[in-house]
């Protein structure tokens, strides 16, 4: 074997090693991004307010009728309406609490 054949073999081996390393790193980076996105979603969802709401939902008696549960929402909306309107004015967004208003109405 001459020197050029050995150099070509070493070059090919280097390129293959680089491609393999790149593929492994790309896979690792994708998995890391997915994990970071999952943690960000959990962080956004598991706020103190969310945890309090879970406690409230768990306090609903088993077998409660829709009327028993639904009656609470309109009553809560009547009590919270002024506060929600104030918050909407302060934030400049009419989307705050819109799901709750929709549910009550």
- pLDDT tens, per residue, the chain with 105 residues: 789 899 999 999 999 999 999 999 999 999 999 999 988 888 877 788 878 878 887 888 888 776 777 777 787 888 889 999 998 999 888 888 888 888 888
C-alpha 26/C-alpha 59 separation (Å) is 47
104's CB contacts (< 8 A; 6+ apart) are 73, 74, 76, 77
How is the chain split into domains, by residue range? 1-59, 62-105
C-alpha 14/C-alpha 16 separation (Å) is 5
**What pTM, to 2 d.p., does this model score?**
0.41
């Amino acid at each position: 074997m001459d020197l050029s054949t050995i150099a070509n073999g070493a070059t090919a081996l280097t390129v293959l090693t680089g491609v393999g390393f790149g593929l492994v790193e790309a896979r690792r980076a994708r998995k890391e991004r997915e994990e970071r996105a999952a943690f960000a979603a959990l962080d956004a969802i598991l706020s103190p307010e969310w945890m309090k709401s879970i406690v409230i939902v768990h306090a609903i008696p088993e077998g409660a009728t829709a009327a028993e549960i639904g009656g609470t929402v309109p009553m809560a909306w009547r009590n919270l309406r002024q506060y929600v309107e104030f918050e909407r004015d302060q934030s400049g967004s009419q989307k705050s609490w819109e799901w709750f208003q929709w549910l009550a109405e």
